Amino acid sequence: MSLLALYDPALRGRADASALEVEDVTGVRTFTFGALDARSDRLAAAFRARGVGAGDRVALLLANRLEFLDAWLALMKLGAIAVPMNVLYKGREIGHIVNDAAPVAVVTTPDRAADLPVGAVLWDVDTLTSEADGLATQRPTVSLEEGTPAALVYTSGTTGLAKGAVLTHGNFAANARALVSAWRITAEDRYLAVLPLFHVHGLGNGIQSWLATGCHLRLATRFRQEAALDWFEGYRPTLFFGVPTMYVRLLEAPIDRARAIGAGVRLFVSGSAPLPAQVLEEFADRFGHRILERYGMTETLMNVSNPYDGERRAGTVGHPLPGVDVEIRDASGGAVPDGTSGELWVRGPNVCAGYWQRPDATAAAFVDGWFRTGDLGVRDAADGYITLQGRRSDVIISGGFNIYPREVEELLTTMPGVREAAVAARPDAVRGEVPVAYVVCDDAVDLAEVEAWLREQVASFKVPRAFHRVMALPRTALGKVQKHLLAGLVS
């Protein structure tokens, strides 16, 4: 199914229904589905006038705002490919994605010009929008299929260099349909969207569930703890998706406000990082709701979910979603018995078509139609609940954002006087994990200067929260750094 076929019961079938409430500098604005359909027809015409056609990539470097939704819809209508980018990325990170995806242009705000690589074309989102205002409201006639790529979403491998997961119309549609059925989402729902739209949690789950059901959306620029309670009280959502860090922050709500908010919400979902069992229980006490935890990833969208009815078991992610096959396999690819740890392999209409122009990486990740997730887990022999147990790689997940230590380590060792560097996770009560650096360097090196320099190179969440000077890195006989021993060096 193409995304337009999925969206049309809302865009056209519920054209007069209220669709969206979004805040901008002028205040809160509201739109019907028909108005959004018309806006994106006009923007599609503006894109086309600037040369965008089917299969072309257009990068979006935008915070959550109305125009992100317009651009997504317009690009889908044109059969073009959206390349959402994390707004926290700096020039080096953006440069890699832009050079790899080779978009026609990057839609953003003019203040980001200095972050784009030489030769990249910047389209000012506001100019584009005013240009679209004067154009005809006519949907482009483009043939869209299940396999038509909809987005390249960049995600890093163990190499630290981000690769574009090619997510098709069929992938997004299958994921949306699975969530709508598993989580009973209907047109009656009111969804409070605080997750960034540049990652699949916000874009693949939130936006697609909204458009697939024609429910109501309130889009916030980003999650802000100090505003979150007011949003819940003012908007009265029935549906909320968040990363564990958001739930930890919500636990600070006064009990009476928490109870009243919980009474109005139908479903709270958590994912992107492990939800500590204690947070789930404390949230249940405070808000009167058991958070539903699920498991997904950029390349596969959602795979496994706790049940809507039935036990939402703390520390587990539940059962495979409808249409998704999950197997737990050993290092040689053989299935392991229930109760035994292994790597999760996934197959289904939700799994991406491969990595953009990376046949090597695609071949390494896919075996006989199965995608190797790199996540480790175990299935309960009695009732099939899956528990995640960590990852094959040493990726750090902080506040739901992924950090590849190798990327940061390689940058650190480019600094004069830094001989070796290792970056490892430190547990953190709010963000789950935070990165910490262990550096072997000359006495003359000023670690504060190293940190300041790094802050200009990478997104803020990747900058280690502590820099420790160490004599040497602990290594195995084969020379591999033993990351689990690093914390012991400085305690």
Positions in the binding site for ligand MLC (CB under 6 A): 63, 87-88, 195-196, 199-202, 222-223, 243, 245-246, 271-272, 296-298, 399-401, 431, 460
CB of 157 to ligand AMP, least distance (A): 10
Return the number of the residue (148 or 373) whose C-beta is nearest ligand AMP. 373
CA atoms within 13 A on the CB side of 51: 6
Among the listed residues 155, 205, 305, 316, the single contact to ligand AMP using CB under 6 A: 155
The first and second tokens of residue 214, run together, are 């024609």
Among the listed residues 37, 41, 93, 293, the single contact to ligand AMP using CB under 6 A: 293
CB of 479 to ligand MLC, least distance (A): 31
Return the number of the residue (20 or 61) whose C-beta is nearest ligand AMP. 61
Q: Per CB under 6 A, does 157 bind ligand AMP?
A: no
Separation between Cα atoms, residue 177 and residue 180, nearest integer Å: 5
Separation between Cα atoms, residue 453 and residue 403, nearest integer Å: 18
Return the number of the residue (214 or 400) whose C-beta is nearest ligand AMP. 400
If you write DSSP's letter for every residue of 111-127 in order, what string do you get?
A: GGGGGSPTTPPEEEHHH
Return the number of the residue (190 or 199) whose C-beta is nearest ligand MLC. 199
The first and second tokens of residue 226, run together, are 């100090």
Among the listed residues 296, 354, 377, 399, the single contact to ligand AMP using CB under 6 A: 296
Q: Is 164 exposed, middle or buried (0-12, 13-18, 19+ CB in 10 A)?
A: buried
Q: From the list ligand MLC, ligand AMP, none, which binds 365 (C-beta under 5 to 8 Å, kind-based)?
A: none
Return the number of the residue (48 or 92) whose C-beta is nearest ligand MLC. 92
C-beta atoms surrounding 134 within 10 Å? 9
Site for ligand AMP in 247-276 (CB under 6 A): 271-274
Q: From the list ligand AMP, ligand MLC, none, which binds 399 (C-beta under 5 to 8 Å, kind-based)?
A: ligand MLC
CB of 402 to ligand AMP, least distance (A): 4
Evaluate whether 193 touches 218 at the Cβ level (below 8 Å). yes
Phi/psi at 12 (5° precision): -105, -40
The first and second tokens of residue 412, run together, are 């650190």
Nearest alpha-carbon partner for 120 in 132, 104, 137: 104
The first and second tokens of residue 225, run together, are 């703890």
3-state class (DSSP) for residue 247: helix
- 233-257 residues labelled b (16+ CB within 10 A) or e (exposed): eebebbbbbbbbbbbbbbeebeeee
Q: Per CB under 6 A, does 391 bind ligand AMP?
A: yes
The first and second tokens of residue 282, run together, are 């404390």
Sheet with 81-84, edge to edge strand ranges: 122-124, 105-108, 57-60, 81-84, 149-156, 162-168
CB of 138 to ligand MLC, least distance (A): 34
Return the number of the residue (219 or 317) whose C-beta is nearest ligand AMP. 317
Q: Per CB under 6 A, does 324 bind ligand AMP?
A: no
Number of amino acids touching ligand AMP (CB under 6 A): 17
Q: Per CB under 6 A, does 375 bind ligand AMP?
A: yes
Among the listed residues 129, 305, 362, 402, the single contact to ligand AMP using CB under 6 A: 402
Separation between Cα atoms, residue 383 and residue 393, nearest integer Å: 28
Among the listed residues 298, 306, 316, 362, the single contact to ligand AMP using CB under 6 A: 298
Q: From the list ligand MLC, ligand AMP, none, which binds 375 (C-beta under 5 to 8 Å, kind-based)?
A: ligand AMP
Return the number of the residue (199 or 218) whose C-beta is nearest ligand MLC. 199
The first and second tokens of residue 216, run together, are 């109501």
For the chain, percent helix, then strand, then coil, each to nearest 5?
35, 30, 40
CB of 204 to ligand AMP, least distance (A): 10
Q: From the list ligand MLC, ligand AMP, none, which binds 460 (C-beta under 5 to 8 Å, kind-based)?
A: ligand MLC
Evaluate whether 228 touches 205 at the Cβ level (below 8 Å). no
Determine the distance from the C-alpha atom of residue 391 to the mean position of all C-alpha atoms in its chain, rounded to a whole number.
Answer: 17
Q: From the list ligand AMP, ligand MLC, none, which binds 373 (C-beta under 5 to 8 Å, kind-based)?
A: ligand AMP
CB of 106 to ligand AMP, least distance (A): 21
Among the listed residues 292, 297, 352, 436, the single contact to ligand AMP using CB under 6 A: 297
The residue ranges that bind ligand AMP (CB under 6 A) are 155, 271-274, 293, 295-298, 317, 373, 375, 388, 391, 397, 402
